[in-house]
Amino acid sequence: MKEKDRQALTIGFIGLGLIGGSIAKSIKRIFPIYNIIGFDINSQSLKMAVQDKILNQAVNDLTEMKACDYIFLCAPVHYNIQYLETLKHVMKPNCILTDVGSVKNDICRAITNIGLEEHFVGGHPMVGSEHTGYESSNDRLIENAYYFITPTAKVNQDCIETFKNFIKDLGAIPIIYSPKEHDEITAYISHIPHVIASGLVNLAAMHDTENGIYKQLAAGGFKDITRIASSSALIWEHILLSNADDIIQGLQKYIHEIDQMIQAIQAKDSRYIYDYFEQAKSYRNAIPDSATGAIEMHYDLYVDIPDEAGVLAKIADIIFEASINLKNIGITHNREDHQGVLRLSFDCSEDMQKAHSILKNTNYKVYKR
């Protein structure tokens, strides 16, 4: 449908942090005629969104959401639950209520208790970042990302299809699962990995020396695989307590895996050890690169460079002349898990691919992560 032929909808956002702000920005970029209303206890977020012309209206009273066709709950879950009673009495009969939380258990229970099941089509964009807040949001965060749609059993099928098509219009990839299935999946591919990453960091910290040699040498592969340990402690406190059953079950299975490996090492069982790493390698290599997942993707290249003056500036000039946005540049001294001493970081896959081609054609030896 052409933009000029599309009916202008009114979209409400309760919470304009990283996810809420990014979805609002995507809507405004793709559907500039849509009317976007924002509510947030952080007045600075509202102010920035108005200045950016993302919000048509900033409100401090949820009754102002009465004209909304969609309402996105993007605040922490316990705040979202507190807002439901007010929303129940102001929402239009055909308003679709959704959320963006990575756990559905608590919000779905509250939706059922308050009698909003016929309105609620839960959602969860599979995007992540160590950064938080409206200032970190961007209008392409959910583009090409899987977007869980988790409707309640009482939602009309037409509402589900309407919301699915809306999410598709925003450039995301909608996938429909029950709230229970969603929580189990995200426990294994997001929640448990965050626990393990933080555990690895704490383990290294406990054994570090006075001169911090562990920290110094961790700048290579260790820093990459534990990057998600830099996420918000407050957010993960709430996630773990909200999805406790699935996370505990997964962690117990992981402990069993570690115990099995300990026994194999003690028994010098080379076959078990080889198969363990081979199976992991096979499954990991089969994970597609075509869409973003629960944990933020980084787009890095590594380049072999001679130790001589001016080489960094030369490479930066090559990339600048090609109009490629270079996010970060640095030297890595720990090359245990990747080749190439110069690390180049980009905002998106397209920029990384373009830089790879140009540098390769300029006779540099370039490696993708």
d(C-alpha 162, C-alpha 206), whole Å: 51
What the block records as the tokens of 11 is 């979209």
pLDDT at 221: 77
Cβ(58)–Cβ(34) under 8 Å?
no
- Mean pLDDT of all residues in 153-176: 95
- pTM given for the model: 0.78
11-15, 119-123, 183-187, 236-240, range with the lowest pLDDT: 236-240
- Mean pLDDT of all residues in 199-216: 93
Domains, the chain, in order of start with CATH, read: 9-177 (3.40.50.720), 299-368 (3.30.2130.10)
Asked whether residue 212 carries a pLDDT value surpassing 60, the answer given is yes
Confidence of residue 303 (pLDDT cuts 50, 70, 90): confident
| C-alpha dihedral sign at 138, 139, 140, 141 | positive
What the block records as the tokens of 256 is 């069993």
- Mean pLDDT of all residues in 304-323: 81
- Residue 7, C-beta contacts closer than 8 angstroms, at least 6 positions apart: none
pLDDT at 3: 44
Identify residue 201 by its one-letter amino acid code. V
Q: What angle do CA 158, 163, 167 make, to 5 degrees?
A: 150
